């Protein structure tokens, strides 16, 4: 089985910073894409940022220039550095990873449990 465990959420003031981490563990052979989605209160889940195994990235327009995604392939971990936070960044943040497991053909998408980020003064 594969597990994704997130950490780093919490309360921040507008203009502040937080860093989220998400570590994948289990019978992992390979991970292709990793990334972050978020679900603001009362809204649908939306893509925040993603990165493929080669390092190519994509960001939501609302976070470009403020958020940076990175990953440590050796640790099966993806990070999201969030700077200049705004109140509209308040949401539950979920990480995902497309994982090839041992003895399983192909890649499957796995999700973390979510970590809450609240931006408020």
pLDDT at 103: 92
- Listed as ranges, residues in the chain with pLDDT below 50 are none
pLDDT at 100: 96
pLDDT at 13: 98
Buried-exposed string 83-103: b where 16+ CB fall within 10 A, e elsewhere: eebeeebbbbbbbbbbbbbee
pLDDT at 51: 97
pLDDT at 99: 97
- Nearest-angstrom CA–CA distance, 77 and 25: 9
pLDDT at 35: 98
- Nearest-angstrom CA–CA distance, 104 and 83: 38
Residue 79: strand pairing partners: 21, 70
pLDDT at 24: 98
pLDDT at 65: 98
């Amino acid at each position: 089985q594969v597990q994704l465990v997130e950490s780093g959420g919490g309360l921040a003031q507008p203009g502040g910073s937080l860093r989220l981490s998400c570590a994948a563990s289990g019978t992992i052979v390979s991970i292709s894409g990793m990334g972050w989605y978020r679900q603001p209160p009362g809204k649908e889940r939306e893509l925040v940022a993603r990165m493929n195994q080669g390092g190519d990235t994509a960001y939501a327009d609302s976070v470009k220039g403020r958020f940076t995604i990175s990953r440590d392939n050796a640790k099966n971990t993806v990070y999201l550095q969030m700077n200049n936070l705004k109140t509209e960044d308040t949401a539950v943040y979920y990480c995902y990873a497309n994982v090839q497991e041992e003895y399983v053909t192909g890649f499957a998408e796995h999700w973390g449990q979510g970590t809450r980020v609240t931006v408020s003064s």
